Amino acid sequence: MPQYTPPLRDMQFVLHELLDAATALKGCPRHAEIDADTINAVLEEGGKFAAEVLFPINHSGDREGCTHDTATKTVRTPKGFKEAYAKYVEGGWPSLAIDPEFGGQGLPVVVNQCLYEMMNSANQAWTMYPGLSHGALECLHAHGTEAQKRTFLPKLTSGQWTGTMCLTEPHCGTDLGLLRTKAEPQPDGTCKITGEKIFISAGEHDMAENIVHLVLARLPDAPAGSKGISLFVVPKFLVNADGSVGERNPIWCTGLEHKMGIHGNATAQLSLEGAVGTLVGEPNKGLPAMFVMMNAARLGVGNQSLGLTEVAYQNAVAYAKERLQMRALSGPKAPDKPADPIIVHPDVRKMLLTARAYAEGGRALAVYCALLLDRMISSDDDDERKEASDELALLTPIVKAFLTDNGWIATSHCMQVFGGHGYIAQTGMEQYVRDARINMIYEGTNTVQSLDLLGRKVLGDSGAKLRKFGKKIAEFVEDNGTDEAMQEFINPLADLGDKVTKLTTELGMKAMGNADEVGAAAVDYLRVAGHLVFAYFWARMAKLALEKQGGDPFYAAKLATARFYFAKLLPETAGLIRSARAGLAPLMAMDEALF
């Protein structure tokens, strides 16, 4: 059976040595008093909850799955899920980073980010139930009326209620401009919502008293397309004037999707049959309001794959140290045993180090983005909030797509380390692969993220956001360019920075002639950009490891992993740049009839 140990030491390295989180938060008045000891104490307890409460029900939850009762249109979650959620609420974990005005503890988002990484490692399917509530809460916090805030935010903060986002319909997928769900205004100011929604994660369950659905729908005479979408809050149970749960709202679970992975999460088909909802924000402005939740979800999905990458790596390493198979080509490494442990074989090490490099690089990026989010929300400086917002906008599609692509690669590699034993259920490795695959699809496929990065975030402002991030890289290169020990990291980082600048200019020129050139290059471009960001953080981590390595094996391992990343993973960018430059013609030359 699999195992999991929270990676607290590496989290502390990223938080306190690489990013100096406590100092970075000093400009945020609500977090000015936070210190490293407080952060560490919270994460240590969070790690215990993940490892001791969530991890033991991950494998069994996958095997059992959720059960849909067609008569009552309700869902029962796997054994232990409801009890684990009760412990989660009892421990105060839902309110960790929520505004104290609504009952939250007011800790930084970055602390919640690290907690969720550990919970995703322990049990991604379970973690999706409370995870979606954060996005719903932030959306209502930003766009809800005072009455909506008073009604829903305290219960979402405490975890007594959970939240979802209901976007997709059977015919429209990501193209939300095609949605058909209707909202009919009523004399009392509410609307009756009618339509079908699919792929609604945590859309129905037995873990919380109420579910707060955020639903996209069209008001009468709304403009066609995405400009005619409004957002509504539609609770599973209507709420009485005193805040208690009232009568059942007619939003029903008509079925559960039978999925490749995340079996423990109820991916629901929902039917709204005149369900009562209230407008969130302005009419026909629902999509911009929902983007608060969607962007949070995109960062969260990257975090899901980070968690899976970490736990898959831990299990593959443990197995590789114990499994005896063949002898090293250079001669026996364990002559007292009938064969050598497979960790001596170069390609096994390559697979393990790939997962490790993607986990540790992903952690650095994810924590960095969480700090940006803290500054964007909480800084008392308008310019700092704007700067953080712009940088987070640039990095969000990279977090979602690059980390989930890497999670798929890493979990597959880690399963491969187990050989045939990885393909069977008992080791748990095949579950990580199955669970990881969805993360590349939902919350905007990785192709959508790539189009967003290149088309909107880079070319959309003529490269302004990219240049700002590039300036940070250039300053780091300048500061460390004469350090002989850093040359193996600085030179490839600087070289890739120059190549990204040239590639961006080239693609921008092509796009002016034919916008489809963006679609032809975007996926390759995002992966190159992801490596540029990773190379920057890995170079910074290598610098710290060089300065501190001494006799501490942690820094020796960090330095070795950095060297592996630059030698074995970063060179992927050469082929990707060549592919991006090949452009549109090879993709469109074949007549459709020949496919």
CA distances for 593 relative to 374, 582, 589, 590, angstroms: 52, 23, 12, 8
pLDDT value for 1: 80
Catalytic residue, candidates 443, 478, 517, 547? 443
**Whole-angstrom Cα distance, residue 163 to residue 135?**
8
- Summarize pLDDT for 520-568 with one digit per residue, the tens: 999 999 999 999 999 999 999 999 999 998 889 999 999 999 999 999 9
Which element (helix H / strand E) includes 456?
none
Query: pLDDT digit string (tens) for 343-400?
Result: 999 999 999 999 999 999 999 999 999 999 999 999 999 999 999 999 999 999 999 9
Tens digit of pLDDT for each residue in 170-222? Answer: 988 778 888 999 999 999 999 999 999 999 999 999 999 999 999 999 999 99
Average pLDDT along the chain: 96
- Is the per-residue pLDDT at 46 higher than 90? yes
pLDDT of residue 289: 86
* Residues above pLDDT 70, as percent of the chain: 100
**Residue 181: its H or E element:** none
Q: At what angle do helices 464-480 and 487-513 cross, to 10 degrees?
A: 160
pLDDT tens figures, 404-436: 999 999 999 999 999 999 999 999 999 999 999
Reported as half-sphere exposure (CB side, CA atoms, 13 A), residue 258 has a value of 0
User: Strand pairing partners for 193?
Assistant: 183, 275
State the DSSP H helix or E strand holding residue 185, giving kind and residue range, or none if neither. Answer: strand 182-185
What whole-number distance in Å separates Cα of residue 4 and Cα of residue 47? 10
Token pair 């979408």 in the structure block, residue: 229
In 3D space, the residue among 153, 238, 255, 156 whose CA is nearest the CA of residue 204 turns out to be: 255
Catalytic (active site) residue 443? yes
pLDDT score of 314 more than 90: yes
The whole-angstrom separation of Cα 356 and Cα 4 is 15
CA pair distance 530, 310, nearest whole angstrom? 18
Q: 457 and 467 in contact (C-beta within 8 Å)?
A: no
pLDDT confidence tier of residue 27, bands split at 50, 70 and 90: confident
Give the C-alpha separation, 162 to 156, whole Å. 6
Decide: pTM greater than 0.75: yes
CA Rg, the chain, in Å?
Answer: 24
CA dihedral 581, 585, 590, 591 (to 10 degrees): 140
Cα–Cα dist 375/389, whole Å:
8
Q: Is the pLDDT of residue 61 over 90?
A: yes
Residue-level pLDDT at 370: 97
Distance CA 194, CA 180 (A): 9
What's residue 293's pLDDT? 81
Which one, of 294, 265, 212, lies nearest residue 78 by Cα? 265
- Can you tell me whether residue 321 is helix, strand or coil? helix
290: confidence class by pLDDT, cuts 50, 70, 90: confident
CATH of domain 8-65+77-143: 1.10.540.10
Per-residue pLDDT, 213: 98
Count the neighbouring beta carbons within 10 Å of the beta carbon of residue 226.
16
Beta-strand pair 230-235/267-280? antiparallel
Task: Please report the pLDDT score of residue 177 as a whole number.
Answer: 81
pLDDT on residue 268: 98
From 2.40.110.20, 2.60.40.420, 1.10.3720.10, 3.90.550.10, which CATH number describes the 162-284 domain?
2.40.110.20
Q: 414: which strand partners?
A: none
